Structure 1
Amino acid sequence: MRTLVIASGNAGKIREFQGLLQHLPLDVQPQPEGMDVEETGSTFAANARIKAKAVATTTGHWALADDSGLSVNALGGAPGVHSARYAPTDPERINKLLSALSKTSERDAQFCAALCVAAPDGSVLIEVEGRCDGRITTLPRGEGGFGYDPIFEVSGTDLTFAEMPLSDKKAHGHRGRAFALLEPRLRALLS
């Protein structure tokens, strides 16, 4: 069984990937404790590539990285690649975003997820991107998920990611859509 290291320190993201990958012949591990890779890319894809290559070369195993974030039309695409650093904590990020939108009715937004699998020699094995359209709610709703999930209502569902069961989030979400593109290519690499 091949080891695949998830290039993230985010416990919620690691759990989500473990769930998505559970039916593949992989030993899914989190990245080494205390490892921090600086995300210097200007796009989600560039940041995912930076993280996957760094973790793969450090651990000697394949690494899967994602860079994902929320882009809000009324904010010129912000927070974008700075989604995780928009404020120190999830509640502060949510409050800052809702505050920034308080004077506008334009609430359209997109979640984007770029996934990259890299090998220990630093080569990129797979790169894909998934996207989910929606809108920012005026108040947080739901108990599930993490990050901006309580304020992102998925187009056509009337539900935020935080209100959805994991199976629905997987089907509708940007990471789930990116994973649907990644999975067959990963399965082919494993066979």
Structure 2
Amino acid sequence: MTVLVVATGNPGKVKEIEPYLSGLNWELRLKPPELEMEETGTTFQENAAQKATQVAIATGQWAIADDSGLEVMALDGRPGVYSARYAESDQARIAKLLGELGDATDRRAQFVCAIAVAKPDGTIALLTEGFCPGEILTAPRGEGGFGYDPIFYVPEQRMTFSEMPLEVKQEISHRGRAFQAILPQMKALKV
């Protein structure tokens, strides 16, 4: 099996990625804890590529990274690449977003996920994006999920991300769609 270093210090992220890559010849590992990564890109793809390149070069292994966030149309795409840094906690981020949106009638939004795979020399081998369109509710709903999940409503499912069973969310989410796009390419990689 070929080692694929996941550009995160979060073991939960590795568990989240594992099901997408099951059946492929990759052994997932967390990045070294002392390795700090910079995210200075202005797009999700730039940030994912930066992280994958930094981890690949530092470890000398194949690396995979993602960057994701929420884009709200009425807020000119904010919080965007700053989704995780929009405020100090999930609750504060939701409150800030709802406050900025106020009574806006245009509640359209989308979650975006970019995934990058880098060769051991840091060269980007694969790069893709997945999108999940939805709407921002006026108040949180549901108990599951994290981040903006309680206010992100997917009309065709008639549920927020927080209300969705995990299997449904994995299939239709921005991350699920990005992995669906990149998996055939990962299978074809010569490693």
Q: Same fold by TM-score, threshold 0.5 exceeded?
A: yes
Distance of 2:128 and 2:84 partners within structure 1:
20
Which residue matches 1:167?
Answer: 167
Which residue matches 1:183?
Answer: 183
**Residues paired across the two proteins, number:** 191
SS of 2:78's partner is coil
Q: CA deviation at 1:11?
A: 4.5
The answer to whether the 8 A contact 1:113-1:131 is kept is yes
Identify the range of structure 1 (162-171 vs 126-135) with the bigger mean alpha-carbon deviation.
162-171
Which residue matches 2:68?
Answer: 68
* Uncovered stretches (5+) of structure 2, i.e. residues with no partner: none
What aligned pairs does 1:1-191 form with structure 2 within 5 A after superposition?
A: 1-189=1-189
* Uncovered stretches (5+) of structure 1, i.e. residues with no partner: none
Identify the range of structure 1 (99-108 vs 67-76) with the bigger mean alpha-carbon deviation.
99-108
The answer to whether the 8 A contact 1:69-1:80 is kept is yes
What percentage of residue pairs aligned between the two structures are identical?
A: 52
Identify the range of structure 1 (120-129 vs 17-26) with the bigger mean alpha-carbon deviation.
17-26
C-alpha RMSD of the superposition: 1.5
CA 1:88 to 1:12, structure 2 compared with 1: closer, same or farther past 3 Å?
farther
SS of 1:176's partner is helix
Distance of 1:134 and 1:160 partners within structure 2:
9
The answer to whether the 8 A contact 2:10-2:30 is kept is no
TM-score by length of 1: 0.93
User: 2:63 is matched by which residue type in structure 1?
Assistant: A
User: 1:24 is matched by which residue type in structure 2?
Assistant: L
The answer to whether the 8 A contact 1:64-1:115 is kept is yes
The answer to whether the 8 A contact 1:131-1:173 is kept is yes
SS of 1:162's partner is coil
TM-score by length of 2: 0.93
